[in-house]
């Protein structure tokens, strides 16, 4: 279980996936700009349209938490991707899904511990009870130090299901459990995340062993197969001898990787 690794928050209660809002803010983002200056600029320009002051503040808070505050500041790269042809495509959605789930641990655990196991056992739907069980386990083991209110227990599971639906893992339904959509991360998103790890100095074996791949339902053999499939498109080349994996990286810089993904 991955649930022992991080505390849960109620952050999804005040927004959810926010895909259009994150795309809009990313297109406005200027790499290296301070959050204070950015917030003032987008607020004065009414970038978020008719949002109320409180709602706009929630969107900006989510943007900062998910895409600016992490040490790797994914907003810098995602700005270029959101502003290019890929900004309305599946690769952008996959990357936004990753960076959102990385920050919103409840969503991460729902996908890793509930969604992919459900697919493995042949289930056709998932409902709010799966999220409630995760919350109850976190309250029991101390990752939620003060038990959440009955209102949060009632409403937050639906927010998690909504986020999973917006990112393409579940289908919509008027009420009750949601049909499972068989999600598959794009090759370009796999390439981007692999190169990002390589750029951080991780060795080839460490890239293959990234915890990130579990979010996409990929175990070691699965990610090796997906990486090997990137060869024909010129992303990289994988050589495998027994348990030893070597990757020949065809692109020299993360900036060039980002430009290529942005043009997909």
- Residues in a beta bridge with 178: 126
- For residue 32, the model assigns a pLDDT of 83
Q: Which residues contact 250 (CB under 8 A, 6 or more apart)?
A: 234, 235, 236, 237
3-state secondary structure of 9: coil
Mean pLDDT of the chain: 93
Burial class (CB in 10 A: 0-12, 13-18, 19+), 141: exposed
Q: What is the pLDDT of residues 173-232, one digit of tens each?
A: 877 899 999 899 999 999 999 999 999 999 999 999 999 999 999 999 999 999 999 999
| Residue 6 confidence class, pLDDT cut points 50, 70, 90 | confident
The yes-or-no verdict on residue 5 having pLDDT over 70 is no
- CATH fold of 1-183: 1.10.3540
Evaluate whether 127 touches 164 at the Cβ level (below 8 Å). Answer: no
Nearest alpha carbon to residue 92 among 161, 19, 7, 201:
19
d(CA 127, CA 108): 16
Q: Write down the residue that tokens 């270029």 correspond to.
A: 80
The domain limits of the chain are 1-183, 187-262
Strands 236-241 and 178-179: unpaired
Strands 125-126 and 178-179: antiparallel
């Amino acid at each position: 279980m991955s649930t022992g690794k991080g505390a849960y928050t109620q952050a999804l209660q005040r927004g959810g996936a926010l895909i259009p809002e994150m795309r809009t803010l990313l297109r406005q983002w200027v790499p290296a700009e301070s959050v204070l200056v950015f917030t003032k600029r987008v607020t004065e320009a009414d970038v978020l349209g008719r949002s109320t002051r409180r709602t706009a503040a929630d969107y900006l808070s989510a943007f900062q938490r998910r895409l600016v505050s992490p040490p790797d500041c994914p907003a810098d790269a995602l700005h270029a991707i959101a502003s290019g042809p890929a900004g309305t495509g599946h690769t952008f959605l996959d990357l936004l899904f990753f960076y959102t789930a990385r920050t919103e641990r409840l969503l991460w655990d729902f996908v890793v511990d509930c969604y992919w196991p459900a697919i493995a056992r042949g289930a056709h739907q998932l409902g709010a009870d799966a999220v409630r069980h995760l919350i109850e386990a976190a309250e029991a083991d101390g990752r939620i130090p003060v038990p959440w209110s009955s209102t949060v227990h009632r409403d937050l599971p639906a927010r998690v299901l909504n986020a999973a639906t917006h990112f393409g893992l579940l289908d919509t339904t008027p009420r009750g459990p949601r049909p499972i959509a068989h999600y598959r991360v794009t090759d370009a998103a796999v390439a981007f995340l692999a190169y990002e790890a390589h750029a951080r100095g991780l060795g080839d074996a460490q890239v293959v062993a990234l915890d990130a791949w579990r979010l996409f339902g990929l175990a070691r053999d699965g990610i090796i197969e997906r990486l090997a499939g990137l060869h024909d498109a010129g992303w990289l080349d994988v050589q495998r001898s027994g348990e030893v994996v070597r990757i020949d990286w065809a692109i020299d810089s993360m900036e060039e990787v980002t430009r290529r993904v942005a043009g997909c």
